[in-house]
Amino acid sequence: MELRAVTGDITKLQVDAIVNAANTSLLGGAGVDGAIHRAAGPGLMAECKTLNGCPTGEARITGGAAQLASCYRSCLTLALENGCRTVAFPSISTGVYHYPLMQAAHVALKAITDFLRLHPQLSVTMVCHSPQTLHAYQVVLNMLYQETKPHED
């Protein structure tokens, strides 16, 4: 099991799946969605048009590639079902949607950690696009790690 937070551009990661933060139409937006569509080319939009959207809290998979906790779990379930072992997430909902960063980090990392306990073959990277985002995810990662560490008397 591996869970880490790094800074960078999610479109540049060598992983089996990258997760987008799209709206329910799946038909393109700004932020990380714009970056992924620019990197993927027009084929991704063509495939998204066939999906008929995605309700909040659920996930859809495309060849190229909340209910916030459920959204992370849905992504990881889909990744597993599709044979992906290494998955990169952006900080979903903390850009255009303005979900409070520390709370989003906590929801995301708790959901991912719980999932990875059951599926330790997965390796997850949180790709943080700004120093503030990376800081928030590192603080919460450390906190969760302290909570789960066995007590030393």
CB of 105 vs ligand APR, minimal distance in Å: 10
In the set 3, 74, 75, 91, which binds ligand APR (CB under 6 A)?
A: 91
Residues that contact ligand APR, how many (by CB under 6 A): 24
- Positive or negative, the CA dihedral 112, 16, 5, 58 is negative
Q: How far apart are CA 47 and CA 44, in angstroms?
A: 5
Q: Are 124 and 116 in contact (CB under 8 A)?
A: yes
Residues designated as active site: 33
Region 93-122 residues binding ligand APR, contact defined as CB under 6 A:
93-97
Check binding of 35 to ligand APR (CB under 6 A): yes
In the set 5, 17, 19, 32, which binds ligand APR (CB under 6 A)?
A: 32
The distance from CA 84 to its chain's CA centroid, rounded to whole angstroms, is 14
> Please, which residue, 7 or 119, has the CB nearer to ligand APR?
7
> Please, which residue, 29 or 119, has the CB nearer to ligand APR?
29
Q: How far apart are CA 6 and CA 117, in angstroms?
A: 21
Q: Which range binds ligand APR by CB under 6 A, 16-24, 48-56, 118-126, 135-143?
A: 16-24
CB of 57 vs ligand APR, minimal distance in Å: 13
CB of 56 vs ligand APR, minimal distance in Å: 10
- Residues forming contacts to ligand APR in the complex (CB under 6 A) are 9-11, 21-23, 29-33, 35, 90-97, 127, 129-130, 133
